[in-house]
Amino acid sequence: MPKARKSRLAVALPLLAAALCLWVASAAGAATPKRIVALTPFAANTLVKLGAPPVAIGQTVGGNERFAPQLKGVTVLPLAHPNGPNLEQLVSLRPDLVLSTKTWAKGNQAMQNLGIRVVTREPVRVNGVISKTLAIGRLVGKLPEAKQLVAKMKEGLGKARQGITKRPSVMVILGVGHSPFTFLPNSWGGDLVRKAGAEVLAGGLNSGSGFQRISDEVVIAEDPEILIVVPHGEPEDVPAITRYFENDPAWGATKAAKEGHIYISTNNSLLQAGTDVGKTIEEVRKKYLHNWPG
């Protein structure tokens, strides 16, 4: 190769490489969303942990979502059927990404029609927390941070599942008014309690939604050693729902009632996917299953 051509190449190649790097960086920068709206506590809390806090968070009407303290003061979008957030309010925030859930399928469609990028990244089971955290990290340009967070989560999960001393039979009940629904093993709460070492009873029922209306007769027939009740309703109604299920005479014949093992979970940790999954499993084991060593 002639010397002059060689030197031209020597100049051109680094320039080309630099231009390519700049283009890739600017493309990545353009694609990285800055104004993110998180409609679920999992997405909101994950974004906080990744260092990409959302500009607004969703809150169901009368809901008791578990948000990280860092989200205090962030704009709250009340969520209600059928769309989820009020679309006018959402548009006024000029979001370039909305992390939503399938619950708001109709609203998601409407948001997309408005040109808003909508992504659903909500874990429905415990293992999903890992993949969804990585997915959110990738979406917001924080993959290294997501990997670090996942490593911590895995460590926490591993610790939380060590030394299970017994595997009691458990029914997890969602109390909607006076109507009991059972958490199925494919629900967040059902899977979490199973991971905590319980044998989750569901009377042979199944449903894609993870919940099924259950008759008290099935509760008696299954005769669980432990009953965990998650009261669901407006905050002011929760105490009454709690009292009703704590004293439900229909359950009096179960081992759980006889041995005083009917527990109430009011912090939504069994209802909503959380980033603190290891801590939640540890809590379930210590408070309800009593299978934590020592």
Partner 1 sequence: MTRRLIVLASLVALLLAAAIAELALGAVKVPPGEVLDILFGSGKTGPNHQIVESLRLPRTVEALVVGAALGVAGAILQGALANPLASPDVIGVTGGAGFGAILIIVLFPEKIALLPIGALVFGLLAAALVFVFAWTGRNRGSIAKVVLAGIAMLSLFTAGTTGLLAAFPEKAPSAIFFLAGGLTSSGWESLDTTWPYFLAGAVLVVFLIRPLDRLALGDDVAASLGSRPQLIRFGAAVAAALLAAASAAIAGLLAFLGLVVPHVVRMAGRTSSQTFVVPASALGGAALLAGGDTLARTVRAPIELPVGPFMVILGVPVFLWLLRRAL
The sign one gets for the Cα dihedral 203, 207, 210, 214 is negative
Using the 8-state DSSP alphabet, how is residue 99 labeled? E
Question: Smallest distance, Å, CB 228 to partner 1?
Answer: 18
Q: Is 270 in the site for partner 1 (CB under 8 A)?
A: no
Question: With respect to partner 1, which residue has the nearer C-beta, 105 or 164?
Answer: 105
Question: Site map for partner 1, 49-78, x if CB under 8 A?
Answer: ------------x---------------xx
Binding partner 1 (rule: CB under 8 A), the pick from 69, 73, 82, 294 is 82
Angle at 265 between CA 146 and CA 262, to 5 degrees: 140
User: Which 133-162 residues touch partner 1, going by CB under 8 A?
Assistant: none
**Beta strands 211-213 and 118-120: pairing type?**
unpaired
CA-based torsion, 47, 193, 231, 238: positive or negative? negative
Between CA 248 and CA 136 the distance in angstroms is: 42
Please state whether the peptide bond connecting residue 249 to the residue before it is cis, i.e. omega within 30 degrees of 0.
no
| Residue 34 makes contact with partner 1 by CB under 8 A | no
Minimum Å distance from CB 271 to partner 1?
12
Site size with partner 1, rule: CB under 8 A = 30
Q: Which 93-132 residues touch partner 1, going by CB under 8 A?
A: 93-94, 102, 105-106, 109-110, 113-114
Q: Which contacts qualify for 73-80: CB closer than 8 Å, 24 or more apart?
A: 74/44, 77/37, 77/39, 79/39, 79/104
Residues 185-204 contacting partner 1, CB under 8 A: none
Write out the residues near partner 1 by the rule CB under 8 A.
61, 77-78, 80-83, 85-89, 91-94, 102, 105-106, 109-110, 113-114, 176, 179, 181, 207, 209, 211, 213
